[in-house]
Amino acid sequence: MPELPEVETVRRGLEPAMVGAGITAVDQRRPDLRFPFPERFAERLQGREVVALGRRAKYLMADLSGGDILVMHLGMTGRFIVEEAGGALREPGDFYQEAGHNAAHDHVVFRLSNGARITYNDARRFGFMTLVPRGELDAHPLFRHLGVEPLGNSLDGALVARLFAGRKTPLKAALMDQRLIAGLGNIYVCEALHRAGLSPLRAAGTLATKAGRPAAAAERLATAIRDVLTEAVAAGGSTLRDYMKTDGSLGYFQHAFRVYDREHAPCPTPGCRGTVARLVQSGRSTFWCSQCQR
């Protein structure tokens, strides 16, 4: 499933075509994806202008004139194909390991007032779209339990300490808990923990002192999370799933992975003689170095 940097790559690719344009027509080709579409979905979108295109955790959110938010989730294989007015095609966030662009999986087509056409293609149909009134977004079941944005200015050592204080759960599990920090996934959690020199097995509560203040480890972790995500977004997302940048070139962050999917490789930490190991936590592979991650 795409992680936060991949979704942000898609958002940045869609933004130039969508923002400021009106939706002149919607071709909805099936009644559902992972979930049924809202009633009168195509009709409710027609004639609306896309005022802004944002992201919350792994959700894309198109702010529409009239007060609704079009919420879109890519699922496992969802992608958008942008056909500009001149006929040029762009695929921000393409899964090349899938079977290519099969038009049989084109489920929704948005036609815009600027001449662009945006097609949502999803082979496995694990993605979904819904409409939420702007004033009800924070209370909506999809969003009301989401934690802080890891790329926001609020994520610092003090906040990490407050979130994790008293928690005995393993640190990696706490980082994957979307109710605490929203949008983090397996790849970038492994990378951030390695950068911070923190074991995925240590209790999350150890990042706070007995007085509830941030331990030095909390500051290191907050910095590592922001840095690894910022670098991944700049590179166009991880190429593990062969995501593409808007201009069609592959993202390159996979080549900068320190530990993810590098079992048995020498630890890249300067001076460390350890090797990257793999363990399974909550059914997911964790890659780490037991020598320098404590």
Per the listing, tokens 């779209």 go with 129
Whole-number Å distance between alpha carbons of 187 and 260: 6
3-state helix, strand, coil in the chain (%, to 5): 30, 25, 45
Contact (CB, 8 A) for 257 and 268: no
Instruction: Give SS3 for 292.
Output: coil
Q: Is 90 annotated as a binding residue?
A: no
Per-position DSSP letters for 113-160, written without gaps between them: TTS-EEEEEESS---EEEEEEGGGTTTSTTTTT--B-TTSTT-SHHHH
Half-sphere exposure of 136 (CA within 13 A, CB side): 12
Active site residue 3: yes
Q: Is 124 annotated as a binding residue?
A: yes
Active site residue 231: no
Active site residue 91: no
Whole-number Å distance between alpha carbons of 287 and 278: 5
Which of these is catalytic: 58, 79, 90, 245?
58
Phi first, then psi, for residue 168 (nearest 5°) are -95, -5
Taking only Cα atoms into account, the Rg of the chain, rounded to an integer number of angstroms, comes to 20
> Amino acid letter at 183?
G
Whole-number Å distance between alpha carbons of 156 and 199: 19
Sign of the Cα torsion 161, 152, 280, 261 reads negative
Q: Is 105 annotated as a binding residue?
A: yes
Active site residue 92: no
Annotated binding site for DNA: 105, 124, 167
**Catalytic residue IDs:** 2-3, 58, 284
